[in-house]
Amino acid sequence: MADCSAASSSSSTETFLCGENGCLEEFASVGEHEMHYEEVHRHHCSRCGQRFSSNHRLEIHLEENHDPFFHSLSKTRPMFRCYSNDCESKFMTSDERNDHSVDSHGLLDRFDLDKRKRPTKMQPVSTSSSSTAANRLPTNSKSKGNVPRSVCFGGGTEKSFDIAALRKPWHQRQRPKASENGQKPIECADLAAALKSDINQVDSIK
């Protein structure tokens, strides 16, 4: 039985106050209060506190939201029951059930249709150390290999040239000079001879 009490006002108009769980909503008649109690307070979920207009809809809510086996079963068979107490139809999705409840039974009030929020998709976040390290690299960074400052040609020869010097513009390059130890600067003819000597050595090995 609903917990209600009659309250008198200065105009002698009797109102009925709902005292269920601190509701404190007022009604002009006992009938209005009883209807309010049936719709709001009688059928409530002990798990999440939601309230429903009938025990049938409360059972549907418990199945779809608090039954651990419901979602796995609903993938292979129709499990979503119609909201109407007199209808035994079941559907594969909640949207199909909602459309049926509206089109076939005219259930449009706020207690009848499924109001659950759809889960939002989250972008996957990689937690691997390699991905994290890659993300920390600056986008404009350029990797440079270890380039030797000089290259020697020929078997045991001392002829070489400076790679760093070749990177300068042609007008800034200095002409080769004799070194202090008396070694002869490399010339194009010497370079060609050294390369030819290396090729001959490779051919003789084959």
What pLDDT, in 10s, does the model give residues 69-89?
A: 999 999 999 999 998 888 999
Instruction: Supply the pTM of this predicted model.
Output: 0.39
Whether residue 103 is predicted with pLDDT greater than 80 in this model: the reply is yes
CB 153, CB 167: distance < 8 Å: no
Domain span at residue 96 reads 64-115
CA nearest neighbour of 59 among 72, 74, 70, 175: 70
In a domain, 92, yes or no: yes
Choice between 117 and 55, residue whose per-residue pLDDT is larger: 55
Q: Quick one: tokens of 183?
A: 């070694």
Instruction: Provide the number of structural domains found in the chain.
Output: 2
Using the predicted structure, report yes or no on whether residue 118 has a pLDDT greater than 60: no
- The predicted model gives 115-131 an average pLDDT of 48
List, in sequence order, every beta strand (DSSP E) within 155-203: 160-162
Asked, for residue 25, whether it belongs to a domain, the answer is no
Any domain includes 69: yes
User: Which residues 6+ apart lie within 8 Å of 52 measured at CB?
Assistant: 43, 44, 45, 58, 61, 111
Whether residue 4 lies inside any domain: the answer is no
Q: What is residue 117's predicted lDDT score, i.e. its pLDDT?
A: 39
Asked if the structure places residue 99 within a domain, the reply is: yes
Q: Answer whether residue 7 is part of any domain.
A: no
Residues 6+ apart with CB under 8 A from 159: 152, 153, 186, 190, 191, 194
Measured at the CA of 176, the angle between CA 174 and CA 178, to 5 degrees, comes to 135
Q: With bands split at pLDDT 50, 70 and 90, how would you rate the model's confidence at 114?
A: very low
- If we measure between CA atoms, which residue out of 6, 65, 4, 70 comes closest to residue 33? 4
Asked if residue 39 belongs to a domain, the reply is no
Residue 13 forms part of a structural domain: no
Q: Are residues 111 and 155 in the same domain?
A: no
